[in-house]
Structure formats: C-alpha cells, structure tokens
Chains A and B, each alone.
Chain A
C-alpha cells in the first residue's frame, strides 16, 4: 500500500513564493480532495509533486513510501508510481498517442522484458471504448487539435494504462460537460483500490458527486487551512468559502494575483503566436 507524505512544503516560481507550508498524507485506498478558490496554490502543489521544471522547492519534504521524491527526476517519480492528470497537457505534434503510451509502458519494464504488442493493443482499445473516445485516437498526435474534453479523457486513459499508485487529478472536471464528467467519474471510481491513493484538485463540488472523496481539504494562501470529511464539502457547497476566511481571519486567500495567474501558468505566448502563423 503506497503512502505519500508531504511535510511543511514551500515552493516558488520565478522568485515568487506560492506554497507556504503544505502538510498532507495520502495512503493507498484513500481519496482526498483539495478545494479552494482560484490562485491559492492548488495546481502549484500538483506541479511541484510531479517535478515541473519551473517550480523550485525551497523547504520541506515529499516522500513516497519513505523514498525522497524531491531527489528524483520527473520520469523517476512517474516510474515510482506517481501520476498527474494535467490541467493543460502539452500538445506534441508528430508523436502518436499509442507510440507515446507504449514507450511509457516499456519504460516501466526491465531491459530484458518487452511489452507484448498484442496485449497492449487490446488493453488500449478497451480503454478507448470505456472512455467513449474515437477509435482513431491511437493514431492521432498527442493532444494536438484535441478539444478540452478530449484532452481530459486522454489523461484518464493514460492513467488507466499506466496504473499509478498515487494519482493526482488537477481540475479534471473543468471544461467537461456533464456526460464527459460522468464518463471520467465512472472510470476513475472503477480504478479505486487499496493500492491507489487519489488526490483530486477542484474548484467545484460537482466533481465529488461522481468521484467520492472521504477527505476534504481547503487550500488558501499556499497551505491547507482546513481539513475535514464530506460534511466540510457540503458546507462549502452551500455557503462558499467566506465563513472559513472569517473563522481563520484570512483577508485575501490568494497567493497568485489574478493578473499574474495566466503568465505563470499559461504557455509561452510568443511560441503560440508563431505556431499560428
């Protein structure tokens, strides 16, 4: 059973401190949800756990089964069992979905073993069907020209294929219509077992109608300010976050000012402009 422990985590991006002492423990079989308003550091936490190159950890520790995660490269973290379904996954032209996931699965095997192509194709086709995606998916280029909903489902498809031990779903629900959300919810729920710890990051309580979470946390000012059970989630759904801010004497919950959010989290605008030419 996997255990991910985050202790007193501080992290910054481009010299700006965003995480300010996050503490969180996720065990296999548990589902945690981090909720909170925009700009409070939720997605930053996900990116830092996975080793996003633009974030720097300044203090604190992350361990997976006692192993120091911060000492690992991103690919080593993935092979150790971490998975992040990204909010805005990169588009990679010329690389097909099936080549990509095949390479990822082969990377998990020892040198002398090789993935059985037949088994792979069967498993992939099955996952495509279960997520109700188009049959041509394996031959399409990775996320290129995908709609928002297709990208999210493709993330879950990868999760199904790679069978991680700790999976973080970063706003998997944003931009999904209700049908797609149902499909994603069913598929994630089906994967739940004692060897999988789940962390859901979301603005909306709606996601938790489809993937139940027994641990609910609220993030503000770059750390977890309140934890509870489904009761907490219900209260947030009914009353919003103001009562928590009042209770804790928090004036401004954000760590990322609204106008900066796009610059830090968005992709390079110049590059996009060029590609559009």
Chain B
C-alpha cells in the first residue's frame, strides 16, 4: 500500500500491512480491506455513549463526547469469523486527535485488531474506545503506540463481555508523552474470559500511569492481568491492577502479575495490585517482581562475551517477547524492537 502525504516514518510499516484503515486528523484517509471483511460494517457516524461503570470513566467519556473530532465504528455481523488481522492506524501530526472508536461484535463472531497510534510534533491524542462483545464472540485486540510528541496521551477503553466471550488484549506503550491508560473490562456473562497485558517504558521525566480493571459480574468468569515495566532516567511508571469479584460470582478466577525493571538511578516504578473479592469460592492471586536487572542473568550473558550494555539490551528486549508473539506481522515486530531501543538509547 502506498499513500501520499502520510508520514514517511510510517511508510515501511504501512507497506507491510494488509487490511488497513488509516485515520488522519479525524478522517478515514485510506481503507483497503479484503473480501474477508465483507461482514464488517464500518461507519463514521456516532453511536451513543455506553453506561459507564464508574465516575472516572463517565467523566472521560463525556469529555471525549464534547471534544471528539474523529469517530470510527466497527460492527461485525453474528457468526462472522475473520481470521485476517485488521490494522487501524491513527495518525496525528499537528492537530490534537480526540478519537472515539466503537467496536461491536455480534454473537459468535471473531475479530483480530491491531491499532497503531502515531502522534508527532506537539499533537496530543485522546482515545476513548467502547467495545462490546455479544455472546460467544472473540476479540484479539493489540495496541502499539508510537508517540514522539511530548504532550499528553490518554487512552480509555471499556470492554463489555457477554457469556462465553474471550478477549485477548495487549498494549505496548512506547510513548514519550505524559501517558494515562485505563482499560476497564466487565465480564458480564458466564464463562467470559479476559487476558490483558501491558508493557510500559518510561524515560526522562516522563510520567506513565497504567490502570487495568477486570470486573467479574458473572459466575465462572476468568480475568488475567499482566503488567511489564521498564523505568529509566528520572521517570515514574505506575501500574494499578484491579481484579474485582462481586458477591455470588462463584468459581471465578482473578490473577495478576507485575514484572518491572528499574534502570534509572532516579526512576520510580510502582505496582499496586488490588484484589477486591466479595465471594469465597474463587481463585485469586498476584505476584510482583520489581528491581534492577537480575545480576545472575547479566553475569551469565557477560560470561559469553556480551558487554554489559548488550546484555541489558537483550534482557530488556526479552520483555517484548510475549507481545511479539501476538503479532504475525514481522515488520511490526521489528518496529517494536526499534522503538524500544530508540526509547532506551
């Protein structure tokens, strides 16, 4: 795919993508989809705001409603299973982008989406996504952000999963901006399952706050939260993970883990795992391992001749592995490595 007037840095990435929607300054600039996506309706008009689970999201939703200058609505018909991945590229070069994305998957449908967020110069980007999965639907949703703008990035997503739905969600945060990401996942129907992982890399004086909530509102639901972080220089990186099992939601599973490395002498990395459980018959747990790079891993790699810098780089790149594994596009895997190394230079 080749489109004029799009940022040069993105060209090689765009070239590697099939089935892509490009949104720039609030307009769909390009759309190239194979016939596999015939059952996917794409609108640029609005759907109403969903009911929000808490005040914070309510506030963010209203703010988004007021300031929104770009909208994308995807609707997938029931029983449509699309194997190919849909790439959505959001570009914001000068103007601020306030985006609302609505995704609605019909009963027993399935979709893979990779979002690529690109903002440069001084543009800010604010995303609000409202995602609803009807019974037995499956969604794989990956978001990679490539924000060179130092200004704010906010991402709020609300996922509603009905019975037997499966959500596989991942976020790779390479932004240089003041970053706030909040993903709120509601498991509304029995056997609904959500697995979400986020990697955040903070540098310089950046502040990055990442919040993930999985709320169990039905029996036998499962939620897994994984947070990975690398804090460099004088930055602050905060993870808040909440697994909330409401009363009577028996035999539910809420688990989370945090793995963090602090490289910068003045950097801060906080992990606040919360398990709010109002039912006895559940399985829940959390673990956190935060510290400097493992001394014995470093020693092992160096004992084969790798310089300390190369060894550290390799170990840190290893953090990306669970995310790379979710992508089947090699160019994007490479891009992620490059963005990570650029960020840590």
A interface residues with partner B (beta carbon < 8 Å)? 50-54, 73-75, 77-79, 83-84, 86, 89-95, 99-101, 103-104, 107-108, 141, 158, 162, 267, 271, 274-275, 277
Contacts and interface: CB of A to CB of B under 8 A. Distances in A.
A112 B297 CA distance: 28
A93 B293 CA distance: 13
Interface of B: 257, 285-289, 294-308, 310-311, 314-315, 317-322
Given A73-B308, A274-B287, A277-B257, 11 more contacts: A74-B303, A75-B302, A75-B305, A93-B321, A94-B318, A100-B301, A100-B304, A103-B314, A104-B304, A104-B305, A107-B307
Contacts of A271: 289, 294
A78 B314 contact: no
Contacts of A75: 302-303, 305-308, 311
A242 to B, nearest CB: 36
Contacts of A86: 300, 303
A277 B287 contact: yes
Given A103-B306, A162-B305, A277 B285 contact: yes
17 contacts: A52-B299, A75-B305, A75-B308, A89-B300, A90-B294, A90-B297, A90-B299, A92-B300, A93-B318, A93-B321, A100-B301, A101-B304, A103-B314, A108-B305, A141-B318, A274-B287, A275-B287
Contacts of A51: 299, 302-303
A50 B285 contact: no
B303 A141 contact: no
B302 A95 contact: no
A77 B300 CA distance: 12
A107 B300 contact: no
A141 B286 CA distance: 24
A158 B304 contact: yes
Contacts of B296: 90, 267
A77 B294 CA distance: 20
Given A94-B322, A277-B286, A107 B305 contact: yes
Per CB-CB distance, the 8 closest pairs between chain A and chain B, nearest first, are: A94-B318, A277-B287, A94-B321, A78-B305, A90-B300, A104-B304, A74-B302, A75-B302
Nearest to A277: B287
Contacts of B307: 75, 107
Contacts of A84: 303
Contact of B321 (A54, A100, A141, A267): A141
A107 B303 CA distance: 12
Nearest to B310: A103
Contacts of B306: 75, 103-104, 107
A107 B305 CA distance: 6
A104 B321 CA distance: 20
B294 to A, nearest CB: 7
Contacts of B317: 94-95
A160 B300 CA distance: 17
